[in-house]
Amino acid sequence: MEDHLKGSRLNLVIRANSVELHDSGATNESVVHSVKIDKGDVETALKECYIFLNENKSLRTNINFSIPSEQIKFFIKHIERKDLKDSVNLIAEQFLKNEKNIDISSILYNIVRTGDLIEISVIDREQLLEAITFIENIGFTVVSAVGNLNDQKRSFVFDTKLEFKEKPKFGAVAPSKIIHSGTNFLSSVTSKIFNTNSWINFRSIRGF
């Protein structure tokens, strides 16, 4: 194992056909380890990645979880002249409150402003919590959840300890529910189990 990886935190990436561990410190995308997903069995692939980390003592099981792009809803809002006096956060919050099928109390979102446009990335809070709990039950410690990992301008990070400090990841959720919900969240990358009629119309781009 290369010396520069010693003690570094890796990114856990779920792809359509594989689970990967990436070097978070690399300038370009650098895959440290990859496990093929066999017949949609994400859990086994995750376990093999965990075993790999344990067998390489220079690596830590504390990881960043890359939120699958399929789980991120993306909006674009034009800032009207009358709204220029308001903060970007307030404009985004008001917009989301008025958006159908979105409960602002049940989501996490990130805002990027470019000129008179606001780009809002939205993720379902409860589904993310269940996915993180599922991953941590395997043995990982998820330090942060990262969105839009390969887009430097639009990437964002949620500190899991901060975001979920009032919701314990263990004990409060029945193991069967964790397995079902966590697997569904992660497996949606390959199976597309969420249809376009559900609240999260994946990667939809809305202009207003």
Rounded Cα distance, 31 and 113, in Å: 31
For 40-88, write each residue's pLDDT tens digit: 899 999 999 999 999 998 899 999 999 988 889 999 999 887 777 788 8
What pLDDT band is residue 183 in, cutting at 50, 70 and 90? low
Rounded Cα distance, 103 and 87, in Å: 21
pLDDT of amino acid 188 = 54
Could you list the beta-strand ranges (E) of 42-86: 62-66, 73-78
Rounded Cα distance, 67 and 123, in Å: 9
Residue given tokens 């975001």 in the structure block: 163
Rounded Cα distance, 187 and 35, in Å: 15
Q: Which has the closest alpha carbon to 12: 67, 59, 83, 56?
A: 67
Given a cut of 70, is residue 153 above it in pLDDT? yes
Helix pair 175-191, 125-138: axis angle to 10 deg = 100
Residue given tokens 């440290």 in the structure block: 32
Predicted TM-score of the model (pTM): 0.75
